[in-house]
Structure 1
Amino acid sequence: MDIVKIVLTVIYVIAALAIITVVLLQEGKSAGLGSLGGGTSSSNNSYWDKNKKHSLEGKFERWTKATAALFVILALVLMILN
């Protein structure tokens, strides 16, 4: 049983590092001060919004969700095993 805990702990740490890395690689979601005056229009963003999941940013978002789910599941499993 100790070997299982060690393996799960190593995977848990790798998942934590992966979440940190992927989140840091993502672009910021805030529009900044430019949005105060209404500087963005929805017509300029429509193509980007439709095809966002195929871009690198969309892949980062999917990887963030997957690694976060793995992180939470492993945390629960490790808690039960202790």
Structure 2
Amino acid sequence: MSVPEIVLGIILILAALAIIVVVLLQEGHDRDVGVVTGGADTFLSQNSARSIDTFLARWTKIIAVAFFVLVIATNIFMFMTNK
């Protein structure tokens, strides 16, 4: 394996871990869970949760697109170097 292949592999692993972390940080969409657990949501906490959720959703999309572009670029690079 050459140095560019190793670097691209490390970047792919970091991008995959970033997707996993961002997805796990997002909250579920079950609205009645607060009632079951006894957590009362105030108006301000609901708005801050929405802004955090939209931020995480946006970054999930950005990281996912970057991951797929990186995978395609890596495959093209591997194909071109093995010819």
Gap runs ≥5 in structure 1: 33-50
Aligned residues: 66
Query: What's the Cα RMSD here?
Result: 2.8
Deviation (angstroms), 1:55: 1.2
Structure 2 CA distance, aligned partners of 1:27 and 1:80? 36
Structure 2 CA distance, aligned partners of 1:2 and 1:73? 21
Q: Does 1:68 align with 2:68?
A: no
Q: Structure 2 length as normaliser, TM-score?
A: 0.64
What stretches of structure 1 move > 3 A for 4+ residues in a row?
none
Q: Structure 1 length as normaliser, TM-score?
A: 0.64
User: Superposition pairs for residues 2-81 of structure 1, below 5 Å?
Assistant: 2-31=2-31, 55-81=51-77
* SS class of match (1:24): helix
Gap runs ≥5 in structure 2: 33-46, 79-83
